[in-house]
Amino acid sequence: MHALLDALVIAILALNLYALGVSRIRAVINAVALQGVLLGGLLFLVHATLDVRGALLVIATLVIKGVVIPAFLVHAMREAEIQHEVTPFVSFMSSMLLGAVGTGLAVGFAHTLPLAEPHTNALLVPASFATVWTGFLLLITRKKAIMQVLGYLLLENGIFLFGLLLLEAMPFMVEIGVLLDLFTGVFVMGIIIHHISREFSSISTENLAELKE
Amino acid sequence: MIYLLIAFPLFMAAATFLWPSDRTRPWLLPIGGLGQLAVVLGAMSLTMHGAVLTGLSDWLRLDALGRLILGFVSVLFFLCSLYAPGYLALRADRPNRLFCGNLFLVQGLMSLVMVSHHLGLMWVAMEGTTLASASSLYFNHNARSLEATWKYLLIGSVGIALALLGSFFLAYAALKAGLESTLLFDALVREAPRLSPPWLHAGFVLLFVGYGTKMGLAPMHTWKPDAYGEAPGIVGTLLAGGVTSCAFLAILRMYHICVAAGEADFAREIFVATGLLSMAVGAVFMVRQRDLKRLLAYSSVEHMGILVLGIGLGGAATYGALLHLINNGLTKAVLFLSAGNIHRAYGSKMTSDVRGALKRVPLSGALFLAGFLAITGSPPFAPFVSEFTILSAAIRDGHFVVGGLFLLLLGVVFVGMGATVLGVVQGEPPDPPPGAPVLRDSVATGAPIVLCLALVLLLGLYVPRPLVTLVREAAAFLETAP
Amino acid sequence: MLLNILHTVLHVTVALTLPPLLLGVIGKVKALFAGRVGPRLLQPYYDLFKLARKGSVISQTTTWVFHLGPVMGLVTPLLALLFVPLVDSHAPVSFNGDLILMVYLLGLGRFCTASAALDTGSSFEGMGAARELTFACLAEPALFLGLLVLVKLTGSMELATMLGSSLAGHWPTAGASLVLVLLSWFIVLLLENSRIPFDDPNTHLELTMIHEVMVLDHSGPAFGMILYGASIKLFLFAALLVRLVMPVSTGSLALDWAVLVGGVLIVAVAIGVVESTVARLRMTHVPLLIVAACLLSGFGLVLLLR
């Protein structure tokens, strides 16, 4: 049980590096989708007793994070006729190394935090920080709007990981609300990406540089 | 009753979405605004007389803070809604279904933020306001508004995401202390002294950064000039007066927990530093600012700084800051709406094109000038009272450096903003392009602003007793640990 | 004592005879994926015999360095293999710190092969040597970091102990780190043995080749030695993986050997599957994957150190 949990978390961390290192947008979407599925699996494992609410939540996570959002992004990509290459400001190698350094620091940092008794050895906390950091990296170092949405999704995944420690405190309503907000957010962003690609015939955010001092 | 506060605007939103006619739809806004104001006043008078309004097993509660800010936002929304029909009649070229509906949606979600006593629920509502207001920003459908919307949405969402992480940290602080981990404010405040300090600090910082992004505090303010610059005046008002107030309320709730935990000094230092930084950033970028609406956005950054600075100073300054929330919001309404009129009249918002507003659109020009005097803290307008309260509290408590910087920055703002504003209102208006219809002041787009200004003036001369009570209660609520 | 000799004899016998079979298995799997019948499983043995009987053409510009390359290419992996415990905790030679010798024996082999390539004076082979060494020096940290994980876990600097049966006890507690090392080493295996996605052993385009381009000038028995040496190197890495995953000791010698041979064959099948399903990386993306391997191992180490 514990080993399986660790394995899933490791897979999530590996997907972080993968998302930073690959050059095709579809691959990043797939990584984020797979991460969503793994999060659903983690939720399933962490839930000690699986009642109707828990089951609903697992299914909602799997469906929204693992299927609906990625499918929507793929759809948005096709609609907006986005080119498949990720265009980074910072090279793939550097962003991957930065991601790795961040992951290492996250492990060290989580070690210094006063964790509650059952979590002292859990990988969840460092994994959460590392994923948040990866999300930030993608947000900052990629030019295309869709990559920034993916970065935002990774960021949310990282926060979700931390939320797993707090399952008792997180009432069902809120979890569903967070998922719904996330979905709506991505939906609205997708629509705006569509508008951006129509307005500028490209979704590089370098076009969005008219408003400045 | 408490459900009605949220349900009424949502119901109006649904009605607005379903309303068939673009021409008559804007009139639903004042009707809904008035209805919402009535509901809120009803709820306020109930709670003022001792009744407790709660719902959803204590997840919702109308407390002193919520009462004050909710009341103010409802007034602001009502004033804006009076302006909306006149404005939308001028913009008959664009469909307004989404625009009007989303205004109600934002109002409903803001009410939810005010009354929610659960960190998670509040987060959901807050993120909702970001998403609902995004489409209103894009009302003009051009490249610039697209860019502004994208930045607003992305920066806002990321900021809010950090706030979620902060909320989790806070819950973890409770868990670490061996408490039943919870996100309910009342429980957190009650158990605050036992919360694990490192997690509390980390949670506070993240929540402050997250909601501070939403509020537009420097250095997380970068979306603000873009968003306010491209938004229609009415949306700018609601963002600058309403949504920022919601974010401020969220930060206050967090501060309340810190106070209860005996960590108020930690929070206050951050508040004072951020407040001064925001004022400085606002002041610097206002100097030689050539875009009217961006000018107002930086003014908003500055005043958000004043708000947190006031809270950070504590004592009487808390009272001043809460009062300033109202004064700033109302004055911003005057400025944004009149700037919107000027923008319409000239077809531009750059100082290179806009000159002699007092001659072209005398009423809007005069209102804009008066709004400028008010926002920079000139007597006899209301912001003077609140800013003076904060300043005197700073001096009385011995914060001479902070007080001095506060005064200095206000001076810089006055000079910088004055140069731009006077250039706009004075001088000879350029010849309008031949053939284009010249927009003049009208009652529909002028009267609501006059009403706002009248309120600003009134509050400057005399603060009514019930309002004083409201603000006092809110300040007392905030400053005391149970 | 007798058992030790038996172990050593078996060890050397398997190390000498089994490796070409792995190439056969990989070829068969690839053929099955492509829907062909493919060459026989034992084809690599026939190839080696064929090459051994052939004469060779040697460029006049070359010196003794050119002749040293293939010999060292065969000898060094064989020597390195002597330190790897194939069953139980037993390796023919072992001493404290032998892990470093093993890695540098492999490095010596690479050095000699690259020198031989440079000795021909051909620009193509020089390019291949440059590529090979660049990638190899990126991959070495991955191998070492993985070994460090094992050192940290077992507290020993002896390969025979590090990959011995005591490792099995650490899987339940440090499984995460070991999985990371496994992934990392599999990538290193693909790289060190010039497999897709790094290099294509069957390619005929000099411009895209890495390892193969270095040995273009070798022919006949020398080329046979290179092929044989390469297969031994593949066997060595496969054995490392198998020992990492299944450091079991059943007590029965036959069963232990069966586990090892079966495991190595499974690794060969896995390589075949990877080669059939994955596309070759663009040359510029190769370092990215190698660095990822280093990061995986490094992360495994960080997990242990926290």
pLDDT single digits (tens) C198-237: 887 777 676 677 788 888 888 899 999 999 999 999 999 9
Work out the pLDDT band at A169, boundaries 50, 70, 90: low
Q: What is the average pLDDT across B273-299?
A: 92
Nearest to C175 among A6, A17, A23 (CB): A6
Is residue C45 over pLDDT 90?
yes
Chain C touches chain B, with at least 3 Cβ pairs below 8 Å, answer: no
Work out the pLDDT band at B203, boundaries 50, 70, 90: very high
Phi-psi region of A154 (alpha: psi -120 to 50; beta: other; left: phi over 0): alpha
CB contact under 8 A, B150 and A114: no
Question: Residue C144 contacts by C-beta under 8 Å, 6 or more apart in sequence?
Answer: C103
Contacts of C291 in chain A (CB under 8 A): 93, 96-97
CB contact under 8 A, A208 and B120: no
Domain ranges of chain C: 2-305
The owner of tokens 């498949």 is A84
pLDDT of residue A201: 78
CB contact under 8 A, C287 and A93: yes
pLDDT of residue B437: 64
pLDDT of residue B181: 65
Q: What is the average pLDDT across A127-143?
A: 92
Work out the pLDDT band at B139, boundaries 50, 70, 90: confident
- Please report the ipTM that was assigned to this predicted complex: 0.92
Window from A76-85, A169-178, B283-292, C7-16 with minimum mean pLDDT: A169-178
Q: What integer best gives the mean pLDDT of chain B?
A: 89
Q: What is d(CA C114, CA C118) in angstroms, rounded to the nearest whole number? A: 6
Q: How far is CA A75 from CA A71, A187, A190, A196, in A?
A: 6, 11, 9, 15
Residues of chain B numbered 238-297 and touching chain A (CB < 8 Å)? 285
How many CB atoms lie under 10 A from the CB of residue B4? 16
DSSP B239: I
Q: What is d(CA B376, CA B418) in angstroms, rounded to the nearest whole number? A: 9
Work out the pLDDT band at B15, boundaries 50, 70, 90: very high
Window from A88-92, B101-105, B385-389, B468-472 with minimum mean pLDDT: A88-92
Window from A65-79, A181-195, C15-29 with minimum mean pLDDT: A181-195
Nearest to B198 among A114, A173, A195 (CB): A114
Is residue B13 over pLDDT 70?
yes
pLDDT single digits (tens) A39-51: 988 888 887 666 7
Question: Residue C111 contacts by C-beta under 8 Å, 6 or more apart in sequence?
Answer: none
CA-wise closest residue to B229 among B157, B146, B154: B146
A touches which chains (3+ CB pairs under 8 A)? B, C
Q: What is d(CA B467, CA B460) in angstroms, rounded to the nearest whole number? A: 13
Residue of A nearest to B129 (CA): A181
* B-interface mutation test, from A181, A189, A207, most B Cβ less than 10 A away: A181
Q: Which residue has the higher pLDDT, C69 or A84?
A: C69
CB contact under 8 A, B164 and A177: no
Alpha helices in chain A (DSSP H): 2-21, 25-46, 52-61, 69-79, 92-112, 124-141, 145-163, 172-200
Q: Letter for the amino acid at B66? A: G
CB distance C117 to C37 below 8 Å: no
Helix (H, G, I), strand (E, B) or coil at B336: helix
Contacts 24+ apart (CB under 8 A), A148-151: A148/A205, A148/B154, A149/A73, A149/A186, A149/A189, A149/A190, A149/A193, A150/A19, A150/A25, A150/A28, A150/A29, A150/A32, A150/A73
Q: Letter for the amino acid at C169? A: G
Q: What integer best gives the mean pLDDT of chain C?
A: 89
CB contact under 8 A, C295 and A100: yes
Residue A89 is inside which H or E element, if any?
Answer: none
DSSP per-residue codes, chain C: -HHHHHHHHHHHHHHHHSHHHHHHHHHHHHHHHTT---S-TTHHHHHHHHHHHS-----TT--HHHHHHHHHHHHHHHHHHTTS-SBTTB-SS--TTHHHHHHHHHHHHHHHHHHHHHHTT-HHHHHHHHHHHHHHHHHHHHHHHHHHHHHHHH----HHHHTSGGGGGGHHHHHHHHHHHHHHHHHHHHHHTT-TTT--TT---GGG-SSGGGGTT--HHHHHHHHHHHHHHHHHHHHHHHHHH-----S-HHHHHHHHHHHHHHHHHHHHHHHHHSPPPPGGGHHHHHHHHHHHHHHHHHHHH-
CB distance B26 to B96 below 8 Å: yes
CB contact under 8 A, C299 and A9: no
Is residue B47 over pLDDT 60?
yes
CB distance C111 to C284 below 8 Å: no
CB contact under 8 A, A185 and B131: yes
Nearest to A152 among B131, B158, B183 (CB): B158
CB contact under 8 A, B285 and A213: yes
CA-wise closest residue to B108 among B230, B15, B196: B15
Residue of B nearest to A196 (CA): B146
pLDDT of residue A33: 94
Q: What is d(CA B75, CA B467) in angstroms, rounded to the nearest whole number? A: 13
Nearest to C299 among A3, A96, A103 (CB): A103
pLDDT single digits (tens) B321-380: 999 999 999 999 999 999 999 988 888 888 888 888 888 888 999 999 999 999 999 888
Question: Residue B256 contacts by C-beta under 8 Å, 6 or more apart in sequence?
Answer: B65, B185, B189, B477, B478
Work out the pLDDT band at B175, boundaries 50, 70, 90: confident
Phi-psi region of C102 (alpha: psi -120 to 50; beta: other; left: phi over 0): alpha
Q: What is the dihedral of CA B464, B467, B469, B470, to 10 degrees?
A: 180
DSSP B347: T
Q: Letter for the amino acid at B81? A: S
Q: Which residue has the higher pLDDT, B433 or A113?
A: A113
pLDDT single digits (tens) C155-194: 889 988 888 888 888 888 888 888 889 999 999 999 998 8
CB contact under 8 A, A192 and B144: no
Contacts of B350 in chain A (CB under 8 A): none
Q: Is the dihedral of CA C121, C125, C128, C129 positive or negative?
A: negative
pLDDT of residue A48: 65
Phi-psi region of B465 (alpha: psi -120 to 50; beta: other; left: phi over 0): alpha
Q: What is d(CA B165, CA A161) in angstroms, rounded to the nearest whole number? A: 10
Window from A53-57, B204-208, C91-95 with minimum mean pLDDT: A53-57
Q: Is the dihedral of CA B229, B231, B235, B239 positive or negative?
A: negative
Q: Letter for the amino acid at B351? A: T
pLDDT of residue A209: 78
Is residue A180 over pLDDT 80?
no
Alpha helices in B56-142 (DSSP H): 64-90, 97-115, 119-137
Q: What is the average pLDDT across C73-97?
A: 90
Q: What is d(CA A199, CA B139) in angstroms, rounded to the nearest whole number? A: 15
pLDDT of residue B317: 92
CB contact under 8 A, B157 and A168: no
pLDDT of residue A120: 65
CB distance C235 to C15 below 8 Å: yes
Q: What is the average pLDDT across A113-142?
A: 85
Window from A48-62, A123-137, B72-86, B145-159 with minimum mean pLDDT: A48-62
Q: What percent of chain C has pLDDT over 90?
A: 53
Contacts 24+ apart (CB under 8 A), C53-59: C54/C219, C54/C220, C54/C221, C55/C220, C56/C218, C56/C219, C56/C220, C56/C221, C56/C222, C56/C223, C57/C219, C57/C220, C59/C120, C59/C121, C59/C217
Q: What is the average pLDDT across B9-14?
A: 92
CB contact under 8 A, A10 and C288: no
Work out the pLDDT band at A183, boundaries 50, 70, 90: confident
Question: Residue B43 contacts by C-beta under 8 Å, 6 or more apart in sequence?
Answer: B1, B2, B4, B5, B53, B62, B70
CB distance B468 to B308 below 8 Å: no
CB-hemisphere CA count at 13 Å for C145?
Answer: 29
Is residue A1 over pLDDT 60?
no
Q: What is d(CA B282, CA B297) in angstroms, rounded to the nearest whole number? A: 8
pLDDT of residue C81: 93
B40 to chain A, any CB pair closer than 8 A? The answer is no
- In three state form, how does the secondary structure of A51-73 look? CHHHHHHHHHHHHHHHHHHHHHH
CA-wise closest residue to B68 among B106, B115, B1: B115
Chains A and C: how many Cβ contacts under 8 Å? 53
pLDDT of residue B136: 85
Chains A and B: how many Cβ contacts under 8 Å? 125
Measure the N-to-C terminal CA separation of chain C; round to a whole number of Å: 42
CA-wise closest residue to C69 among C120, C140, C19: C120
How many CB atoms lie under 10 A from the CB of residue A194? 16
The owner of tokens 């790795």 is A100
Q: What is d(CA A146, CA C38) in angstroms, rounded to the nearest whole number? A: 45
Residues of chain A numbered 28-87 and touching chain C (CB < 8 Å)? none
Q: How far is A6 from chain C (nearest CA, A)?
A: 6
Q: What is d(CA B106, CA B353) in angstroms, rounded to the nearest whole number? A: 34
Is residue B204 over pLDDT 60?
yes
CB contact under 8 A, A211 and B229: yes
